[in-house]
Amino acid sequence: MMDIVEKQRAFFKTGATLDIKWRIARLKELRDAVAAHEEEFEQALAADLGRSRVEAYLCDIGPTIVEINEMIRGLRRWARPERHFSGLMCFPSIITKVFKMPYGVTLVISPFNFPILLTLGVVAASICGGNTVVVKASSKSSACTAVLKKFIADIFPPEFVTLVDGGHDVADMCLDQRWDKIFYTGSPVVGRHVLEKAAVNLTPVTLELGGETGNWCVVRKDADLQDAARKIAFFKLCNAGQICININQVAVAEEVAGKFIDLLAAEFRRQGGERIQDSDEYPRMITEAAYDKCASLADEYRSRIVFGGEGSRQSLRYSPTIIYPVAPDEPIVRSELFCPLLPVVPFKDSEVDTLMATIADREHPLAMYLFTSNTRWAWKVMSTQQYGGGCINEVCIHLMVKGVPFGGTGHSGMGAYHGEWGFREFTHPCTVLKGSTRFNLPMREHPYSGAAGEKKLKLLRLFER
């Protein structure tokens, strides 16, 4: 591993990655290669997660191409040095520039749940910023990792971009090296470990985490219940709930809870069929351990399952499962589930602000979703709570909006990326002032006492405003 890092560091020092045209050419190569290997990626996603072709393109392949295209179109503008007036205090030096400099050699640790998008999308951001990249891909999504390893080796030399595979031992071997930037996507538990390792060399880190206590969805009594049920069912079916921004639990006004549950169950049947767990279109849990954890937790709440609660360990598919009623302090709503289980927490609509205060007291989620016709209340909540991002009367598609950041805060992460924000995350702004050799004033120089000092102080008070 040390040899890989040193070769990449040597390549970075050649200055090849600083050239904007060169970066754009590499991004185009990456985009074209993704399109050319679409079928291989689809097959690998089916092998690892049981994804259908449509879901593979919708969630992984298509967004990767969109992300890279945004970078190709915007990079010249983003990378242009900013020009600033230096101000009267700096006279006669009047020109200051801010350069967007790459960090250097970067490490990207990607997860299993969206192995194409959350690997190549981050690699693209690092390339866009002018860095070299070592990828540590997930050992859980082994088929995708194998395809990605060959894919990257075919288009980029290893001193520029390379992928290493393996388990936790390989990840730790990577983290033991000295990096200029680390980008990790995964759980808060491992995120802490990454930060500890990075602290040894004071390496800047971006963390994209799922959130310690999961993402809330709140459905008020004035919401369009049919619309809410349709969208929530779609989202919970997607990747079998193995999504960092997915709904962990839904709080529903008790005045409409019964009707909402009936509508949600009907939507699960309409979109997935009567026995969803037997459908080849429905994704599976990534490992037997993940399936067993989901099934075991469902068994703990068996008496309160009102829909679903069935699965096949052989296929690793577990049906979307509605659990009702669940109190807001029960263990199942105090940790990230990352599976198709959906606890439903009833609340009095008149006490919704108390519910929001409870949510605010917990670790910051990566996403929040509100369904209500009271948009004034919704905007107030969204502008005062702390979370990564979210939607009003919609789910997940804030992730697809161009030009906006994606990232969490606290236990849901640090830093943000996508498009220009990804470029910013992989570059360091360097401020440079161009000095003048003429007309320099003695105002900043000694002496500071006597009449000269008093005169300087008056001028300072005049200029420093």
What tokens appear for 115 in the block?
């192995």
Would you give the DSSP letter of residue 440?
A: -
SS3 category, 208: strand
413-414 vs 205-209, strand pairing mode: antiparallel
Cα–Cα distances (Å) from 156 to 19, 29, 120, 160, 368, in that order, read 17, 9, 13, 7, 38
Sheet with 413-414, strands from edge to edge, namely: 161-164, 132-136, 105-109, 181-186, 205-209, 413-414
SS3 category, 31: helix
Active site residues: 208, 244
Cα–Cα distances (Å) from 444 to 84, 86, 124, 327, 448, in that order, read 21, 16, 46, 65, 9
Residues in the chain: 465
Cα–Cα distances (Å) from 411 to 88, 99, 109, 189, 359, in that order, read 43, 31, 18, 9, 14
CB 185 within 8 A of CB 110: yes
What tokens appear for 319 in the block?
């049906």
Nearest to 133 by CA among 169, 177, 190, 179: 179
What tokens appear for 281 in the block?
């279109």
CB 243 within 8 A of CB 60: no
25: Cβ contacts below 8 Å, ≥ 6 apart = none
443 vs 168: CA distance, rounded Å: 59
CB 79 within 8 A of CB 125: no
CA 222 to chain centre: 31
39 vs 43: CA distance, rounded Å: 6
